[in-house]
Amino acid sequence: MEPYITCEELTLGYDRIPVASGIGFTVSRGDYLCIIGENGSGKTTLLKTILGIIPPLSGRIIRSSAYTGIGYLPQQTDIQRDFPASAYEIVISGFEKKKGLRPFYNAGEKAQALAEMERLGITQLKDRSYSELSGGQQQRVLLARALCASANILLMDEPTTGLDPQTTADLYELILRLNKEGMAIIMISHDLHSAMKYATHILSFDEPVFYGTKKAFAERGKQAHE
């Protein structure tokens, strides 16, 4: 099976100043890649690079013909939390790019927006104001939006930040279900325990940089302690 995305020997950074180098990995259907590493090690920079917001300083990003797009769940800011729109409006805005200059969303897009809300169990929140929703509900709305935007890859940056333990557990289970249904997941996480529970692959920015299966990562950890 051809990977959706292959990254080779990436050097990441800003204005020619490197932040991280030697980054290589693939993302294929069904993969659940957790990206871990200390604060400031370059995780979010990688995400911006994959999304095409900034170019890599060197190396290659290859997107195969099987790649259809990435749905991105942004790290939430307080401004976004107060966004004045209904849950449904946020979800359907996932089609913003596809819609282009058309004035309205089409019937297929409206139907899919509702279907994604159904899939994530938030149909009843449809007409509620996004800003009034709980943190966990807001994350589900953003996930449904990302599912509209994409995609066979879901990209998330610390999606459980600010959520209570139960809501965090529920969100992880939901993401796992989407992964089991075939969605490839790329998740930045500072939560190593959950990463080891859910991921199939680990990319660690801590020196020396590591990419491989979760099992290989665990073996490496053992060797380091021997």
Ligand X SMILES: Nc1ncnc2c1ncn2[C@@H]1O[C@H](COP(=O)(O)OP(=O)(O)O)[C@@H](O)[C@H]1O
Q: How far is the CB of 130 from ligand X (least distance, A)?
A: 25
Chain residues 3-62 in contact with ligand X, contact rule CB under 6 A: 14, 19, 37, 39-45
- Residue among 44, 93, 161, 167 that touches Mg ion (CB under 5 A): 44
The residue among 122, 112, 120, 72 whose CA lies nearest residue 92 is 112
Find the part of the chain contacting Mg ion (CB under 5 A) among 9-17, 39-47, 65-73, 137-145.
39-47
Residue 42 binds which of ligand X, Mg ion, none (CB < 5-8 A, kind-dependent) = ligand X
Q: Which CB atom, from 44 or from 200, has the smaller least distance to Mg ion?
A: 44
The interface partner of residue 37, options being Mg ion, ligand X, none and the CB cut-off 5 to 8 Å by kind, is ligand X
Binding of residue 161 to Mg ion (CB under 5 A): no
Closer residue to Mg ion, CB minimum distance, 7 or 117: 7
- Least distance (Å) from ligand X to the CB of residue 70? 17
CB 197 within 8 A of CB 185: no
What track of x and - describes contact with ligand X for positions 146 through 185 (by CB under 6 A)?
A: ----------------------------------------
For binding to Mg ion (CB under 5 A), which residues are involved? 43-44
For binding to ligand X (CB under 6 A), which residues are involved? 14, 19, 37, 39-45
